[in-house]
C-alpha cells in the first residue's frame, strides 16, 4: 500500500501534459511557397512557424501589408532598422536592390559600418532628409527610449508619399499607452514598472521594454511626427496569420 501511495504521489507531482499542436496548410507571403504552418505552443505569435522559411505570423502580415500599399517595393529605397534574418527582412534583402539595413551599436561611430551593417540610432539618424520610400521596423518601437524622436526622425528621412510600415505589440489595446522604462543616468534602463526584456539577436542581455503601447499610438505618432497612421489587422489562416498583437501600422507622409 505504501508503495502504491508513493507511486501515486510521484505521478501527481509530475507537471500536467501541456502538449499543444496546431497546423494549417497555406501560402507563405515571405517565401512565396505553399507550406504547412505549425505550432507546438499555444502562443502562436512566436511559435506558428512556416515549414519552409520559419517566419512567424507578424512577419507574414507585415509582408502582405507592404505588398498591399507598395506593390512596387522591389524598386524602392527601403531602410529597415534592426532587421531579423528571416521572413520579411530576408525577402526585402533578397529582392530589393536599394534595401539598407541598420543596427544600433551605441559604442560605435554612427553612420559607419559595423560588421558590414550601417550603424544608426533610430532616434538620431545620420541619413539626410527625404531619403527613403519606406522605413520598416519590426517590434522595435516598444524598445526605444525616446519614441518621440524616433517617429520624428523616421518622418524626416521619408520622401513625400513614403511610409513607415511596422509591427509593434499594442499590448495595452484600448488602455492608454504607458511608459515602461526610461534611460538611467548610467545608460542602463530605469524601469518605472516591472522590468521586462525581449530577446535580442545582437545582445545576449536582451532589450528592455520601454513602452506599453495602446491604439492611441496613432495620436502619439501624429503629435510627434505629423504622420497619419492606419492600423491594419489581418486574420487569415490561409496565410498562416493568426495570433495576438499582430497589427501592422502604416504611417504615410503626405
Ligand atoms: Zn515561408
- One DSSP character per residue, 63-80 reads HHHHHHH-TTGGGSEEEE
* 12 pLDDT above the threshold of 80: no
Average pLDDT over the chain, rounded to an integer: 93
So what's the pLDDT on residue 4? 53
- Band (pLDDT 50/70/90 cuts) for residue 201 is confident
- Band (pLDDT 50/70/90 cuts) for residue 237 is very high
* H-run or E-run covering 47: helix 44-47
d(CA 199, CA 214) in angstroms, rounded, equals: 21
So what's the pLDDT on residue 34? 98
Q: Position of cell 521572413?
A: 87
* 170 pLDDT above the threshold of 80: yes
Instruction: Report how far ligand 1's centroid is from the alpha carbon of 184 (Å).
Output: 40
Instruction: Report how far ligand 1's centroid is from the alpha carbon of 45 (Å).
Output: 15
Q: What is the mean pLDDT of residues 40-63?
A: 96
So what's the pLDDT on residue 11? 47
Instruction: Report how far ligand 1's centroid is from the alpha carbon of 115 (Å).
Output: 27
The domain spans of the chain are 58-252
Closest by CA to 82, choosing from 154, 152, 141, 29, is 141
pLDDT digits (tens, 9 = 90+) for 96-140: 999 999 999 989 999 999 999 999 999 999 999 999 999 999 999
- Band (pLDDT 50/70/90 cuts) for residue 20 is confident
Instruction: Report how far ligand 1's centroid is from the alpha carbon of 198 (Å).
Output: 23
- Euclidean distance between the first and final Cα of the chain, in Å? 79
d(CA 33, CA 12) in angstroms, rounded, equals: 45
Collapse the DSSP code of 4 into the 3-class scheme (helix H, G, I; strand E, B; otherwise coil) and give the result.
helix
Q: Position of cell 512557424?
A: 49
| CATH 3.30.300.180, domain 58-252, yes or no | no
Instruction: Report how far ligand 1's centroid is from the alpha carbon of 235 (Å).
Output: 17
Amino acid at each position: 500500500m505504501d508503495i502504491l501511495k508513493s507511486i501515486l504521489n510521484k505521478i501527481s507531482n509530475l507537471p500536467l501534459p501541456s502538449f499543444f499542436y496546431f497546423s494549417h496548410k497555406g501560402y507563405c507571403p515571405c517565401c512565396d511557397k505553399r507550406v504547412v504552418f505549425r505550432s507546438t505552443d499555444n502562443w502562436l505569435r512566436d511559435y506558428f512557424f512556416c515549414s519552409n522559411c520559419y517566419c512567424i505570423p507578424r512577419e507574414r502580415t507585415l509582408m502582405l501589408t507592404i505588398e498591399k500599399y507598395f506593390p512596387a517595393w522591389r524598386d524602392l529605397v527601403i531602410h529597415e532598422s534592426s532587421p531579423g534574418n528571416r521572413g520579411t527582412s530576408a525577402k526585402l534583402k533578397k529582392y530589393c536592390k536599394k534595401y539598407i539595413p541598420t543596427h544600433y551599436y551605441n559604442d560605435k561611430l554612427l553612420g559607419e559600418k559595423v560588421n558590414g551593417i550601417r550603424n544608426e540610432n533610430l532616434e538620431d539618424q545620420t541619413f539626410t532628409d527625404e531619403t527613403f520610400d519606406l522605413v520598416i521596423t519590426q517590434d522595435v518601437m516598444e524598445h526605444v527610449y525616446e519614441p518621440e524622436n524616433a517617429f520624428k526622425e523616421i518622418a524626416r528621412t521619408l520622401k513625400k508619399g513614403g511610409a513607415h510600415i511596422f509591427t509593434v505589440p499594442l499590448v495595452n489595446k484600448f488602455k492608454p499607452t504607458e511608459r515602461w522604462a526610461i534611460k538611467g543616468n548610467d545608460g542602463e534602463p530605469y524601469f518605472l514598472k516591472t522590468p521586462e526584456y525581449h530577446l535580442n539577436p545582437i545582445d545576449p542581455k536582451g532589450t528592455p521594454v520601454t513602452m506599453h503601447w495602446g491604439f492611441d499610438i496613432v495620436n502619439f505618432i501624429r503629435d510627434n511626427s505629423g504622420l497619419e497612421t492606419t492600423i491594419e489587422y489581418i486574420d487569415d489562416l490561409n496565410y498562416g496569420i493568426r495570433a495576438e498583437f499582430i497589427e501592422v501600422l502604416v504611417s504615410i507622409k503626405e
